[in-house]
Each structure stands twice: as structure tokens, then as C-alpha cells.
């Protein structure tokens, strides 16, 4: 079905098709936003003054296990 054929469908059918695609569009948008947030969080330098201490403690704890 081409986009031109879609425009010739009855209005109720066009609305129904758009309503069925809406969850997929919304999910794609949310996934993109979550991925962008993760990338930003991982590339940003830590701003906490306690970060070196926390990082050393975490590394030490992992080695002890």
C-alpha cells in the first residue's frame, strides 16, 4: 500500500491505523530518550567531591570478593 492509497481510505480507517501505530511511535521515542540519557550520563565527568573515594572503595570491594 502506497501513501497515496492510504489517503484514499475512509477517515475512520485512517484514524484506526494511526491509533494502532501510536504505541510503537511512543515506545520508539521513549527508547531514544532513555538511550540519550544513558549516553549523556556515562560521558559526563563525575562532579561529586567524594567520587575518588567512592571509586577506590568500589574497586577494593570488587577485588575482595
String of b and e for 31-56 (b: at least 16 CB within 10 Å)? eeeeeeeeeeeeeeeeeeeeeeeeee
Report the alpha-carbon distance of residue 54 to residue 60 in Å, rounded: 10
Supply the range of the domain harboring residue 26. 3-64
Higher pLDDT, 11 or 52: 11
How many folded domains does the chain comprise? 1
Percent of the chain that is helix, strand, coil (3-state, to 5): 80, 0, 20
| pTM of the predicted model over 0.85 | no
2-26 pLDDT per residue, tens: 878 888 889 999 899 889 999 999 9
- The cell numbers describing 28, all together, are 520508539
Amino acid at each position: 500500500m502506497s501513501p497515496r492509497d492510504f489517503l484514499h481510505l475512509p477517515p475512520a480507517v485512517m484514524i484506526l491505523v494511526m491509533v494502532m501505530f501510536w504505541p510503537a511511535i511512543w515506545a520508539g521515542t521513549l527508547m531514544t530518550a532513555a538511550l540519550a540519557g544513558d549516553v549523556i550520563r556515562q560521558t559526563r565527568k563525575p562532579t561529586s567531591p567524594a567520587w575518588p573515594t567512592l571509586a577506590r572503595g568500589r574497586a577494593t570491594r570488587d577485588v575482595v570478593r
